[in-house]
């Protein structure tokens, strides 16, 4: 495709909050198109010719969209961006391609940009289903819920607040994984930004599959695990947004963890769910909270060199082996007073077939505590003998491995790993 160098090399992400807003606006527009049978869209491409582009089955650009999440309310502040949108020219774009401009604030002038020469095209400010030509950042979620509700009503599908949140969580994850895949092509394979985005379309059939997905109720494990994933990703987004310019935390590792979680299938997500706080009895909505997610992400933010290539995000150090971040809290100042909490978590690890191998695969569990690092063998002298998970297992070294598992605070782990 013949694309101007300025577009090929540009990045649509000005800030993390802008990136999140841009993606949600793209999803809103896609669902809006599905509600309007006069359109036959095929796929969505994010960060290609513009912030996002809708293509037909014939690879024609149906619409180009530029999204600005600025605080400016003066039309003049957007003039250069509007003019750039008016001048985009490439294969697949013709006189029928609509050019839309999205803003997050009410402007003093919403009149269309009309071309002044043959290299420019008309650009209009997008109009939402409530008649407004702007969409505030704090209203984008409500807008998405409404357009999703409209789709479900039109398609005669079951609808409830629970189902809408479940379907939107699937859509957010779909968008995440495609954008992350494009960024991987840039960083790992040396692709230029436009080509990476162009090779990673989001099909409208995939969007419809998410919208038509069903769950039974709030005890449905798929629903709970997807909500757990969204909880992790959304709290991570807030952490990134509030620390974009900070040098005190490891944004690279936070993003690596976020990307790994976004790609997790349900089986691996379930393993992470239990590993984060092992003494949870079952997969339920009540089994995770903002606090436990933030305890987990605090570790990721403070300790560098996260390993995400396989299994759960973890760390490795030659002398002390592997370290698994958790949301376990041993709050007692006196180490012995925390032993009942240790017992509960270790017993839960032993009895849960999904994550019992954590005691064998990881040398250190990173927890929130004030104590110096100590191995489980010290705790077991008081709490009683920890027997092996499988009594039939002939490998007697596994019991020794359990006893050698260390509990270590974030601060001590940071010292060992960041040296």
Instruction: Specify the length of the chain in residues.
Output: 419
The pLDDT, as a whole number, for residue 132 is 95
Three-state secondary structure along the chain?
CCCCHHHHHCCCCCCHHHHHHHHHHHHHHHHHHHHCCCCCEEEEEECCCCCEEEEECCCCEEEEEEEECCCCCCHHHHHHHHHHHHHCCCCCCCCCCEEEEEECCCCCCCCCECCCCCCCCCEEECCCCCCCCCCCHHHHHHHHHHHHHHHHHHCCCCCCHHHHHHHHHHHHHHHHHHHHHHHHHHHHHCCCHHHHHHCCCEEHHHHHHHHHCCCCCCCCHHHHHHHHHHHHHHHHHHHHHHCCCCCCCCHHHHHHHHHHHHHCCHHHHHHHHHHHCCCCCCCCHHHCCHHHHHHHHHHHHHCCCCECCCCCCEEEECCCEEEEEEEEEECCCCHHHHHHHHHHHHHHHHHCCCCCCHHHHCCEEEEEECCCCEEHHHHHHHHCCCCCCCCCCCCCHHHHHHHHCEEEEHHHHHHHHHC
Walk along the chain (419 residues) in steps of 10 and give the mean pLDDT of each run. Answer: 44 61 93 89 81 90 93 93 90 90 95 90 95 94 96 91 89 81 52 60 92 78 86 86 80 88 89 82 75 86 88 90 88 62 71 72 87 74 47 50 77 87
pLDDT above 90 as % of the chain:
32
The pLDDT, as a whole number, for residue 407 is 86
> Buried b / exposed e across 45-58, counting CB within 10 Å, b at 16+?
bbbbbbbbbbbeee
The pLDDT, as a whole number, for residue 14 is 44
The pLDDT, as a whole number, for residue 335 is 57
Instruction: Map tokens 């198109």 to a residue.
Output: 33
CB 300 within 8 A of CB 306: yes
Q: Which of these, 118, 264, 80, 77, lies nearest to 180 by C-alpha position? A: 264
- pLDDT, one tens digit per residue, over 366-413 is 988 888 888 877 665 544 444 444 444 445 555 455 557 788 999 999
What pTM does this model have? 0.71
């Amino acid at each position: 495709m013949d694309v101007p160098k300025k577009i090929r090399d540009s990045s649509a992400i000005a800030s993390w909050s802008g990136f999140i807003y841009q993606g949600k606006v793209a999803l809103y527009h896609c669902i809006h198109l599905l509600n309007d049978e006069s359109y036959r869209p095929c796929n969505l491409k994010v960060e290609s010719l513009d912030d996002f582009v809708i293509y037909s089955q014939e690879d024609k650009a149906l619409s180009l969209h530029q999204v600005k999440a600025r605080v400016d309310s003066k039309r003049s502040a957007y003039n250069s961006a509007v003019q750039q949108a008016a001048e985009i020219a490439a294969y697949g774009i013709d006189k029928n391609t609509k050019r839309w401009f999205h803003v997050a604030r009410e402007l003093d002038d919403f009149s269309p940009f009309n071309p002044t020469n043959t290299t420019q095209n008309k650009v209009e400010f997008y109009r939402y289903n409530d008649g407004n030509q702007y969409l505030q950042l704090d209203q984008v979620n409500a807008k998405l819920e409404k357009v999703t509700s409209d789709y479900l009503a039109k398609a005669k599908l079951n609808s409830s607040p629970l189902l809408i949140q479940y379907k939107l969580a699937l859509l957010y994850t779909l968008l995440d994984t495609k954008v992350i895949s494009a960024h991987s092509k840039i960083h790992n394979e040396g692709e230029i930004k436009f080509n990476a985005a162009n090779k990673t379309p989001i099909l409208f059939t995939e969007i419809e599959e998410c919208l038509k997905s069903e769950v039974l109720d709030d005890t449905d494990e798929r629903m709970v695990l997807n909500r757990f994933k969204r909880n992790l990703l959304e709290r991570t987004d807030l952490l990134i947004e509030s620390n974009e310019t900070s040098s005190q935390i490891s944004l690279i590792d936070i993003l690596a963890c976020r990307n790994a979680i976004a790609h997790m299938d349900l089986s691996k997500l379930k393993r992470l769910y239990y590993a984060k706080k092992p003494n949870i009895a079952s997969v339920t909505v009540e089994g995770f909270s903002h606090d436990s997610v933030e305890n987990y992400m605090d570790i990721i933010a403070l300790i560098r060199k996260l390993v995400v290539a396989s299994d759960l995000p973890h760390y490795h150090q030659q002398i002390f082996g592997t370290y698994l971040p958790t949301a376990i809290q041993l709050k007692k100042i006196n180490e012995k007073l925390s032993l009942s909490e240790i017992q509960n978590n270790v017993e839960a690890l032993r009895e849960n077939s999904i994550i019992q191998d954590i005691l064998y695969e990881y040398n250190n569990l990173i927890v929130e505590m004030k104590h110096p690092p100590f191995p489980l063998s010290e705790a077991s002298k008081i709490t009683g003998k920890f027997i092996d998970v499988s009594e039939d297992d002939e490998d007697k070294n596994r019991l020794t491995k359990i006893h050698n598992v260390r509990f270590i605070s974030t601060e001590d782990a940071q010292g060992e790993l960041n040296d």
